[in-house]
Amino acid sequence: MNDVAELAGVSKASVSRFIGEDRQLLSEAIARRIETAIQTLGYRPNQMARGLKRGRTRLIGMLVADIRNPYSVAVMHGVETACRRHGYSLVVCNTDRDDEQERMHLAALRSYNIEGLIVNTLGHHLDELRELHTELPMVLVDRKVDALSSDLVGLDNLAAVRLALDHLEDCGYRDILMVTEPQDGTSSRIERVEAFNTLTRQRPALRGQVLETTVAFGTHLQHFMSAPGPGPKALFTANGIATLTCTRQLHALGCHLFDDIGLIALDELEWYPLVGSGITSLAQPTHDIGVTAFECLLARLRGDQDAARSYDFPAQLIVRGSTRRRA
């Protein structure tokens, strides 16, 4: 920093303002001289050291259950975009659905002196999360952790399921099988199944069943397809992973996609238009969910003390050939 100041002909304090948050206090001429000197010398400030000195690291932590899940990647991209816009950096830790990994990552994030934390896990280490929450703001994404009084950002699951059933019923489907990953305490999965069961009971024209993607999934799916029912059959997959499992199994069973059975998927993935005549989907605004999660965190960092809030985003119906109209 001394070398930059000497080459630019300014004080060290001016260089500090330039690389910090007070650049607007400098004149344009001085800022240009400092910028030229930095480029000439190849100077790179040590952000971690600066953060420790000021008591601020401008680091945001994000804990995700499964980084391979397309939903997690899309939300993470939204979070990172918002972080960058506001001058923060994102540290992502993947628990891989492993409780011990979650515990280790929480300890690591604390050691990095993060300023806030975005959580997309089951939150099995409640004591560590509660303790960390007393030190810094925390926002939950998609998954509730009842013991934490934190803002929650995710999908309006009841409205999304209602939208799916409205579309299927309007297309003439009457026998609906909801396919979900096994219930492991994930609040969004529970909400979607509960909404499906409640709404199908309210519709006399529909018969609704729920099937989890367990080892015997293929056998149960084949039985559903061959068993008599009240009318045309359709699958409603509760997320992208369940959709992939169903599509693979339908291929294995030799189905003519999507003549033998309809399909509507919650989540919108890039490969959906490529399967058969295309998979109808309920797209989640994943980028907006990620941006909103960070903005909630930023508001808390800036002193917002209001009660915890929930932000429920609507799904968007994208109609393709997998839900063509039936007689």
Q: Where are the domains of the chain?
A: 2-45, 56-154+287-313, 157-283+316-323
The domains spanning 56-154+287-313 and 157-283+316-323 adopt the same CATH topology: yes
Residues 160-176 have a mean pLDDT of: 98
HSE value, Cβ hemisphere, 13 Å, CA-based, for 166: 9
Question: Is the preceding peptide bond at 258 cis, omega within 30 degrees of 0?
Answer: yes
Residues 232-239 have a mean pLDDT of: 97
Q: What percent of the chain has pLDDT over 90?
A: 69
Residues 40-56 have a mean pLDDT of: 68
Residues 195-217 have a mean pLDDT of: 96
Pick the closest to residue 291 from 116, 76, 34 (CA basis).
76
Q: Which residue has the tokens 């999507």?
A: 258
Mean pLDDT, the chain, rounded, equals: 91
User: What are the strands of the beta sheet with 116-120, ordered from one edge?
Assistant: 89-94, 59-64, 116-120, 138-141, 151-155, 310-313
pLDDT at 185 over 90: no
Q: What is the sign of the dihedral through the CA atoms of 228, 229, 233 and 239?
A: negative
Residues 185-199 have a mean pLDDT of: 94
Of 12-16, 62-66, 137-141, 242-246, the poorest mean pLDDT is in 12-16
- pLDDT for 97: 86
With bands split at pLDDT 50, 70 and 90, how would you rate the model's confidence at 54? low
Type of residue at 33: R
Q: For residue 150, how many other CB atoms are within 10 A of its CB?
A: 23
Specify the 3-state DSSP secondary structure of 142: coil
CATH of domain 157-283+316-323: 3.40.50.2300
Specify the CATH number for 56-154+287-313; select among 3.40.50.2300, 3.30.160.270, 3.30.300.30, 3.30.360.10.
3.40.50.2300
